[in-house]
Structure 1
Amino acid sequence: MISEQHFSSSFTSLWHEIIPLADTYWRRENLRIVRQVLPIDNVAPVKLRGFLNELAFETFTRARVAGLLPKREVILSIAQECIESVAEYIIRITRDESSIALQLDNSCKQEVFEMTRNLMLSFPDSKNFHVRPKFSGCGVVSACEGDLIYKDCLYEIKAGDRGFRVSDIKQLLIYSSLAFSKGELSFSKIGLFNPRNGYYWERTLDRLCIELSGMRESDVLSNVVGSMTQLSISR
């Protein structure tokens, strides 16, 4: 079986059959992306970026659950509590001890605080969010988890120093299709947010599917599920 990231970035001809207008749509849609919060300065070492991104998201999760305000001393205290567990998680992925830091210098602290603050400002309601929703696998795609369901929208948090891509939309469609296949589609919108550059994008699933393919949400999600299953059979 393969990951949702691999499925979203591969099988170009398959995706073209399901959402043939994706590239054209995204070139146009890129012009409509808005900046929701101020960007941060990327001052920490690049090799630590993945670790700091994950640390900020975990800090945001704990702070939001506790109903705390985005104050620097509070945020950094929570971040310190999260360092070891986040470091273990990142090491399992990278197998590179230089990609983590158990002690944060001032530049790392600044990035973690500012990303956490941007997340807290963008998702302020502590009662209407579900962090790391789990999705059962289907066909060739393994079980996986998303980033955040906030109110009626599934968000993918992309904290890299880059713009949003078509593959990000495909990843959200994969999660939506997995939920749809189990009758567990609990959201009607999908969105992207980058706490580094402050950019934000959100659309209803149905409208997006029409724009990408000319078909309604249920048809597109069914086609994605069918492709997952067919690929599994063909293997």
Structure 2
Amino acid sequence: MISERAFAKSFASFWQELVPLLTPRFVGLFNEAYEQALVDEAGIPLQAVPIGPGTRTDIVAEFAFWGARLLHDRGMAAGGLLDDSAIVQEASRRAFEVVQKYEGVKPDVVRPLSASELREGQALARNYASLYRACDPNAHIDFGPRFQGCGFLNAAEGDLGIDGTLVEVKTTTRKVAGKDLRQLITYLALDAAAGHHRWTYVSIFNPRRGTCHRAEAYALLLRISGGKPRVDVLGELIEFVQATEFVNNQTF
């Protein structure tokens, strides 16, 4: 069994056959043509959040995500992360857990967040408000949408659902990559395998760069698959993960 992240970054021959037009050229086009404008509370285009000296970017990104999630769950503004010590503590704990899980960092080498890292995390969390602002004011925001496992794919938890849009958060300095789109396609397939059809749009939000890219799922799959409808693309992915015998040779 593997995660959706690992699946999106591997099985190159399968992905090439499934979505042959998901090429570097298309990814470049996606970055240019599918960007959705984000603005701050003053209506000014959102700016990137610079990385400070010594910042542990992975932990700070997860701290910001969990801070934004906890603030939303409590009905609090996304910019008020450092105003609540309990949320800071819980978001920090969650961030360390995630990084330890995915990066293999041992608990005894994880230092508490520094003052500058906390401030940077707050700046990243504040940018989530700009994402909300770009949506319908009455939109239902759901952090952590869950997906049942299928075949050799583990059960998964996405980042964010806003009405019919599935949002993947990538807090990095890079632009959208092909593996990000493959990860979203994997979520759509897991959703379909469970008999659901929750997502009409897919989106990639980057609070570090201050960007958001959004596409209609059916049209995107039709384009990158070379004309196959959504149901066929997702069905082929489901069939592959159910029929393929996966052997994990990693030694623990």
- Do these two structures clear the TM 0.5 threshold for a shared fold by scoring above it? yes
Contact 1:57 1:116 in 2 (8 A): yes
Corresponding residue of 1:203: 215
1:167 aligns with 2:168: no
Whose helix fraction is larger, Structure 1's or Structure 2's? 1
Query: Counterpart of 1:202 in 2: which secondary structure?
Result: strand
What CA distance in whole angstroms lies between the structure 1 residues aligned with 2:247 and 2:96?
38
What CA distance in whole angstroms lies between the structure 1 residues aligned with 2:6 and 2:113?
33
What CA distance in whole angstroms lies between the structure 1 residues aligned with 2:90 and 2:138?
20
Contact 1:137 1:178 in 2 (8 A): yes
Corresponding residue of 2:75: 67
Contact 1:138 1:229 in 2 (8 A): yes
Which consecutive unaligned segments of at least 5 residues does structure 1 have? Answer: none
Query: Counterpart of 1:177 in 2: which secondary structure?
Result: helix
Of the three residues 157, 161, 186, the one matched with 2:169 is 157
CA deviation vs aligned residue, 1:98-152 (integer Å, no higher than 9, x gap) = 87432432x2122111100001221255861111111111112111111111111
For residue 234 of structure 1, report the CA deviation from its aligned partner.
9.5
Contact 2:48 2:210 in 1 (8 A): yes
Contact 2:49 2:123 in 1 (8 A): yes
Corresponding residue of 2:99: 90
So what's the TM-score if we normalise by structure 1? Answer: 0.89
Corresponding residue of 1:221: 234
Query: Counterpart of 1:155 in 2: which secondary structure?
Result: strand
Query: Counterpart of 1:130 in 2: which secondary structure?
Result: strand
Contact 1:133 1:149 in 2 (8 A): yes
Contact 1:76 1:109 in 2 (8 A): no
Q: Which amino acid aligns with 1:154?
A: L
Corresponding residue of 2:10: 10
Moved more, 115-124 or 37-46: 37-46
Q: Which amino acid aligns with 2:170?
A: K
Moved more, 92-101 or 136-145: 92-101
Query: Using a 3 Å threshold, how does the CA distance of structure 1 residues 111 and 233 change in structure 2: closer, same or farther?
Result: closer
Which consecutive unaligned segments of at least 5 residues does structure 2 have? Answer: 39-45
Task: Give me the CA root mean square deviation.
Answer: 2.4
1:182 aligns with 2:194: yes
Pairs aligned (count): 233
Of the three residues 99, 121, 135, the one matched with 2:130 is 121
Contact 1:76 1:113 in 2 (8 A): no
Q: Which amino acid aligns with 2:244?
A: L
CA deviation vs aligned residue, 1:206-227 (integer Å, no higher than 9, x gap) = 0001111111111111111111
What CA distance in whole angstroms lies between the structure 1 residues aligned with 2:117 and 2:127?
15
Contact 1:156 1:192 in 2 (8 A): yes
Give the fraction of aligned pairs with identical amino acids, expressed as a percent.
24
Corresponding residue of 2:157: 145
Contact 1:153 1:188 in 2 (8 A): yes
Corresponding residue of 2:42: none
